[in-house]
Amino acid sequence: MPLQQVAPVLSNIQIAEGIFLLTLESKEIAQLARPGQFVNIRSTDGSLPFLRRPFSISHVHEDSIDLMFNIVGQGTRMMASRRVGDTLDVLGPLGKPFGYEAHFETAILVGGGLGVAPFPLLTRYLKKHSKKITTFLGARTSRHIVSTNLENIQIATDDGSSGFHGTVVSSLESYWGSHALPGPKIFGCGPTPMLRALSETAQKLHIACELSLEGDMACGVGLCQGCPVETTKGERKYALVCIEGPTFNCNDIILR
């Protein structure tokens, strides 16, 4: 059950090039949140920007939640300027969590860019359920990497400044060829082209794979119907990212 709250900013710091970590006070959302869920945030009281912005819940503490974001436009620029003591209107937790309890032994976390965002909380839950974890992170350069609260990290960078020189998906494929990852399940998050490549790799290697999608959404609660993703399941052509996702089994959706 989601809540709508005016949450005070506890901290707002830059943690990598262009990437911010915002901590908001909300005991209630912190307690309800599960890995893969998101909050929908209003960055202003006015109507510029007009809509809320969805953010993965990155991590939770006893009475606060962490969100990771980069500046892409007016809303995130305003969020980056929020200081301790300012408040933000938060709606959440929303969406369907990752299936972290399912039958698998090793969790393979694959994050492209800011796609790393939901992984700290996911890692906590995976450890709680005694899963083995290997984490693949992809970033443009070594300066864009965020790797706190993660386990067994394999890094890939576009420019080769750190780790594997290439995409995060090719780094996973290369690692897979030479390492044993028993009873694997992939958890992926990142830009759509990366998720498409990851989905193909997972299908090729016969690994179960769950993806966390982004959608152009307004409400985040199923009212606006703005965030469809093509589905292969059932009679319906589309599923809604906000309430039926954002996490989907990669076989259930078609990424375009």
Which residues contribute to the site for other proteins (CB under 8 A)?
1-4, 42, 47-52, 89, 91, 215-219, 221-230, 236-238, 243
Residue 78 phi/psi, 5-degree rounding, is -65, -40
Residue 71 Cβ, how far from other proteins at the closest point, in Å? Answer: 16
From the CB of 61, what's the least distance to other proteins, in Å?
Answer: 24
Q: Supply the minimum distance, in Å, between the C-beta of residue 254 and other proteins.
A: 11
Please say whether the beta carbons of 209 and 186 come within 8 A: yes
Sign, CA dihedral 124-125-126-129, equals: positive
* Residue 1 or 180 with smaller CB distance to other proteins: 1
Q: Which is nearer to other proteins, 117 or 229 (CB)?
A: 229
Q: What is the largest CA-CA distance in the chain?
A: 54
Alpha-carbon distances, residue 34 vs 51, 58, 121, 177, 249 (angstroms): 24, 10, 8, 32, 17
Nearer to other proteins, 40 or 134 (CB): 40
The type of residue at 203 is Q
**CB 46, min distance to other proteins, A:** 9
Q: How far is the CB of 120 from other proteins (least distance, A)?
A: 27
Name the residue nearer to other proteins (CB basis): 101 or 216: 216
Residue 123 CA: distances (Å) to CA of 16, 28, 34, 116, 231: 20, 21, 11, 11, 28
User: Which of 63, 216 has the CB closer to other proteins?
Assistant: 216
Nearer to other proteins among residue 11 and residue 225 (C-beta): 225
Provide the phi-psi class of 16: left if phi over 0, else alpha when psi is between -120 and 50, else beta. Answer: beta
**Separation of alpha carbons 145 and 156, rounded Å:** 9
Minimum gap (Å) between residue 222 Cβ and other proteins: 5
